[in-house]
A and B are shown apart, each in its own frame.
Chain A
């Protein structure tokens, strides 16, 4: 088990709503990354936060946004939810911005109806 915790574990929303997912990083880790994992696929990089600033972004629209707090915990916000946003959202922490050897949480399963 890693020290990365995510909440909630499951969430059901309707199309057009907004959602906030939360993540606490492993102790000693200052970098947090968010990944989206669709059913039967590998995780896809959304973005990374290092020292409270976005430090890299994948191919996701601006309605996916995030925050990192001074204690290195993080939030992922998704506005105007679409059906295709249904996925497992994974948070991962690492010791540096290079982002190797990520430690993942168990994820938040988001269902958009």
Chain B
């Protein structure tokens, strides 16, 4: 079936550097995408979302980029901090759906 997946299971960055987490999706009918952060022992926490009629959306220190041509989604975190260490999930939803389909997650480790 359709699925959302991630290129890298673990990403290690130096504190202060920028982080880029990538996600590929296969459902061309997806029109809504969202990134979640999950810390150990907690539920997923909303970071940022984007609709398919946009290519880029910015939040506080985070930017999501959507490339519909190659079905690729990325999350950029500026000036990565130790508190950003967590597992990051992308998820997508089809136009007619009400169900978020999650990828497998990328672990971000921030080195001091």
Residues of A within 8 A of B (CB): 2, 4, 33, 35, 40-45, 48, 55-56, 58, 90, 92, 97-107
Contacts and interface: CB of A to CB of B under 8 A. Distances in A.
A106 B38 CA distance: 10
Contact of B99 (A41, A42, A90, A99): A99
Contacts of A55: 98
Nearest to A9: B41
Interface in B16-62: 32, 34, 36, 41-46, 49
Interface residue tally of chain B, by bracket?
Answer: 20 to 34
Contact of B89 (A2, A42, A101, A106): A42
Contacts of A33: 99
A4 B46 CA distance: 13
Contacts of A103: 46
B105 A90 contact: no
A42 B93 contact: no
B46 A101 contact: yes
B43 A90 contact: yes
A105 B43 contact: yes
Contacts of B76: none
B4 to A, nearest CB: 8
B87 to A, nearest CB: 9
